[in-house]
Amino acid sequence: MIGKSPSQHQKDLFKPLLKEFINLRHELALLGDKIDWKYFEDEFADFYSNTGKPSMPIRLMVGS
């Protein structure tokens, strides 16, 4: 089953968002904004089951 990223509308004192402590002008951060992540999600979706435990997000797998 394709995993869903948890909604991060509410801040957690002990789990800051990544974008709060990285340089958003770094080359890798800029590259991440230019990649068409929807394309990869669509291409890999057929390899996931509709039942069972949710997987890690496809973006995490492709971006590693």
CA quadruple 1, 55, 45, 32: dihedral positive or negative? positive
Alpha-carbon span 49 to 2, nearest angstrom: 7
8 touches 54 (CB < 8 A): no
Q: Which two tokens stand for residue 30?
A: 């800029």
Per-residue confidence in pLDDT tens, the chain, 64 aa: 676 655 555 667 777 777 788 899 999 889 988 999 899 989 988 888 888 888 888 888 887 6
Which pLDDT does position 48 carry in this prediction? Answer: 86
Which pLDDT does position 6 carry in this prediction? Answer: 58
Which pLDDT does position 7 carry in this prediction? Answer: 58
Which pLDDT does position 30 carry in this prediction? Answer: 92
| pTM, two decimal places | 0.59
CA distances in angstroms from 25 to 21, 31, 54, 64, listed in the order given = 12, 10, 32, 20
